[in-house]
Amino acid sequence: MSQQVRGIIARAKGEPVSMETIVIPDPGPGEAVVVIQACGVCHTDLHYREGGINDEFPFLLGHEAAGIVESVGTGVTDVAPGDYVILNWRAVCGDCRACRRGQPQYCFDTHNATQKMTLTDGTVLSPALGIGAFCDKTLVAAGQCTKVDPAASPAAAGLLGCGVMAGLGAAINTAGVTRGQTVAVFGCGGVGDAAIAGARLAGASTIIGVDIDDRKLEWAKGFGATHVCNSTETDPVEFIRSVTGGFGADVCIEAIGHPAVYKQAFEARDLAGTVVLVGVPNPEMMLELPFIELFGRGGALKSSWYGDCLPSRDFPMLIDLYLQGRLDLDGFVSETIGLDGVEEAFHKMERGEVLRSVVVF
């Protein structure tokens, strides 16, 4: 027996989203149906709507979500009906070459539900990042459900499912920030501010936030930036050197995905330091760097996929830190909205007015 629920659809490139009736199949083998309690509005949802990811319209948007497992299919043992879960978009397979060599955070064959969710006329939907959670309920692979402490509010917890995890993980997993390090973060939106929060959590002693928007720099201070730099007024490379003894930062995290910004991150880094790219470039962008500098500066240039997180390892731990008051997830929730507020939330995001609007069901 399938069931019908409300969901937010992007039908065509650039068109406003609409609320439609979605058909959710019963979970098949290895699948779960989850009742969504909250889902954040992420740039990636807007990116799908703008046709920036692929052309597989219509999309069922939403992917930063927490909820309760309603039912599971055969063979599902890790989660059961009633479990409180955060949805993740990298359910590791356990069998690919990355998983087999003990690095499941890089899994090259992550799982999604096999069955499709549809409109009532049978049109197959493409769920955003294999989730589709601007919807009363959604169908996912059971491995996409990560159990966490139910004491955490769904609006805050759900954000760990994407952007906040990407930023936190860029600092704590990919860069491996440790006590006493100096860290510069370029871009102080949701992902960048999460990188700042991650650097603080890891014990960085100097944390520099760089952005072109003073409002975002104020947010950055709230998450732990010890210094901020408006790069329209001050050269960020000079600024970062000036507050790191003239050397540059041990870790520079690029949370924009733009070649000019990446170059700043590259130049603002101390010798043998680390640059982490967590911002997502578009396919047309090219990067040009002096090759000799690439050698001469040493260190590491890394990219961070989903904060190189392992959901089963990282989500419960970060929720525990949140519940202990050591990680401010609530600070990312700028507003809570209804399911019909997604289009307006896109506009607020484009105007830079919010870190996250979160749909609460």
**Residue 54 vs 324, nearer CB to Zn ion:** 54
Task: Provide, rounded to whole angstroms, the least separation between the CB of residue 94 and Zn ion.
Answer: 6
**Residue 41 vs 204, nearer CB to Zn ion:** 41
Which among 101-109, 116-124, 231-239, 267-275 is the span making contact with Zn ion, rule CB under 5 A?
101-109
Instruction: Quickly list DSSP for 13-56.
Output: TTPPPEEEEEEEPPP-TTEEEEEEEEEE--HHHHHHHTTSS-S-
Q: Give the Cα separation of 82 and 216 in Å (integer).
A: 38
**Residue 239 vs 315, nearer CB to Zn ion:** 315
- Near Zn ion in 35-54, by CB under 5 A: 42, 44
**Residue 99 vs 196, nearer CB to Zn ion:** 99
Q: How many helices (H) and strands (E) does the chain have?
A: 11, 18
Residue 60 φ/ψ, nearest 5 degrees: -95, 110
Residue 202 φ/ψ, nearest 5 degrees: -80, -5
**Residue 24 vs 162, nearer CB to Zn ion:** 162
Task: Provide, rounded to whole angstroms, the least separation between the CB of residue 332 and Zn ion.
Answer: 12
Task: Provide, rounded to whole angstroms, the least separation between the CB of residue 186 and Zn ion.
Answer: 19
Which among 107-115, 118-126, 184-192, 347-355 is the span making contact with Zn ion, rule CB under 5 A?
107-115
Q: Give the Cα separation of 212 and 242 in Å (integer).
A: 19
CA distances from 72 to 66, 77, 88, 124, 241 (A): 16, 9, 16, 21, 54
Q: How many CB atoms lie within 10 A of CB 70?
A: 18
Task: Provide, rounded to whole angstroms, the least separation between the CB of residue 131 and Zn ion.
Answer: 9
Look at residues 58, 55, 52, 54 and name the one whose alpha carbon lies nearest to residue 17.
Answer: 58
Q: How many CB atoms lie within 10 A of CB 35?
A: 16
Sheet with strand 126-127: strands edge to edge: 118-119, 18-24, 3-10, 59-60, 126-127
**Residue from 39, 99, 168, 196 that binds Zn ion (CB under 5 A)?**
99
Task: Provide, rounded to whole angstroms, the least separation between the CB of residue 176 and Zn ion.
Answer: 22
Which among 71-79, 82-90, 159-167, 177-185 is the span making contact with Zn ion, rule CB under 5 A?
159-167
**Residue 130 vs 163, nearer CB to Zn ion:** 163
Binding-site size, Zn ion (CB under 5 A): 9
What count of residues does the chain have? 361
Task: Provide, rounded to whole angstroms, the least separation between the CB of residue 335 and Zn ion.
Answer: 17
Q: Peptide bond before 281: cis, by omega within 30 degrees of 0?
A: no
- Near Zn ion in 68-97, by CB under 5 A: 93, 96
The yes or no reply on residue 105 touching Zn ion (CB under 5 A) is: no
**Residue from 162, 191, 310, 358 that binds Zn ion (CB under 5 A)?**
162
**Residue 53 vs 300, nearer CB to Zn ion:** 53
**Residue 44 vs 146, nearer CB to Zn ion:** 44
Residue 2, classed as helix, strand or coil, is coil
Which among 105-113, 236-244, 290-298, 339-347 is the span making contact with Zn ion, rule CB under 5 A?
105-113
**Residue from 107, 183, 276, 355 that binds Zn ion (CB under 5 A)?**
107
Interacting residue ranges for Zn ion, rule: CB under 5 A: 42, 44, 93, 96, 99, 107, 109, 162-163
